[in-house]
Structure 1
Amino acid sequence: MYTLPDKNTKQRERILQLREMRGSQAYQVGVDAETRVKTMLLKSGWQILLERARTKRGEIDLVASKESILCFIEVKSRQTTSEALFALRPAQQKRLYNAAECLLAQHPTWSYDQMRFDLVTVDAAGKTTWLEDILRQM
């Protein structure tokens, strides 16, 4: 026996489809921002050591080095720079720090005199803002 689909079921399915589309778009915006930042770093003389470095304790968007600096870089893309700045919450800061610890253990040959965490924001107009040394040991 055939029953008519429940209106709420169709509505739920549509909402899930929209969420999935937004998630895919947000993912692509993030990838594009990371690519933009990577290009900026390379033009500035940085060497990219890792991209989207995943560990059991978190992910770091870019790991780069220049001279004797080892830099863990988080990229945030939002409509405005201020929105991007506020997107790095304390819980994520802790995950970044923990992920960096894992990466340092996995790569004992990395040589550096200075290590830091930087945040690079990309707004809707494509403007990048680079904030150095945003995170200290907790």
Structure 2
Amino acid sequence: MPDRTGPQGRRAAFSRGLAAEARAGAHLEALGFSILSRRARTEAGEIDLVVRQGDLLVFCEVKARADLDGAAYALLPRQQRRIAAAASAWLAARPDLAALNARFDVVLVSGRGMVRHLPAAFEADA
């Protein structure tokens, strides 16, 4: 089994994460969303993708694992709270978008390239 704690392992994991985010972004664009931000950094944390479709603003977490079930179980309540806080901080910096309806989605990506979009996967008060 490869060492995932060393520099090479971290670089490989980072590359896999970028590839998963690219697949998730392409999937959301195919569904009609426009990408407003990738890897949006705030003082509260990072949001993988911020997308918009009409009056809907979506803060999207991307989870990549060997299989979709593993990816689905990887989003913990603590992470959900961090994403919600980051979304609040992101919106504070973009008051022009504050009137839009917002939701929190998850896009799961498997090691085989399968993608599953979970709309409204969690609430901001998780």
Flag whether TM exceeds 0.5 (same fold): yes
Q: Superposition RMSD on alpha carbons, in Å?
A: 1.6
Determine if the alignment matches structure 1 residue 26 to structure 2 residue 13. Answer: yes
Q: Which runs of 5 or more residues in structure 1 are unaligned?
A: 1-14
Query: Relative contact order (alpha carbons < 8 A, sep ≥ 6): 1 or 2 greater?
Result: 2
Instruction: Please tell me whether the aligned partners of residues 93 and 135 of structure 1 are also in contact (alpha carbons under 8 angstroms).
Output: yes
The residue number in structure 1 matching 2:97 is 110
Alignment of structure 1 residues 72-83 onto 2, 5 Å: 72-83=59-70
Q: Which runs of 5 or more residues in structure 2 are unaligned?
A: none
The residue number in structure 2 matching 1:8 is none
The residue number in structure 2 matching 1:38 is 25
Number of residue pairs matched? 123
Matched residues in 2 for 1:130 and 1:54: separation?
Answer: 22
Please state which structure has a larger fraction of its residues in helix.
1
The 1:92–1:51 alpha-carbon spacing in structure 2 relative to 1, beyond 3 Å, is same
Determine if the alignment matches structure 1 residue 53 to structure 2 residue 35. Answer: no
The 1:104–1:18 alpha-carbon spacing in structure 2 relative to 1, beyond 3 Å, is closer
The TM-score normalised by the length of structure 1 is 0.83
The residue identity in structure 2 corresponding to 1:58 is: G
Following superposition, which runs of at least 4 residues in structure 1 exceed 6 angstroms of deviation?
none
The TM-score normalised by the length of structure 2 is 0.91
Greater CA drift, 110-119 or 78-87: 110-119
State the 1:113 CA deviation. 4.1
The residue identity in structure 1 corresponding to 2:16 is: V
SS at match of 2:112: coil
SS at match of 2:85: helix
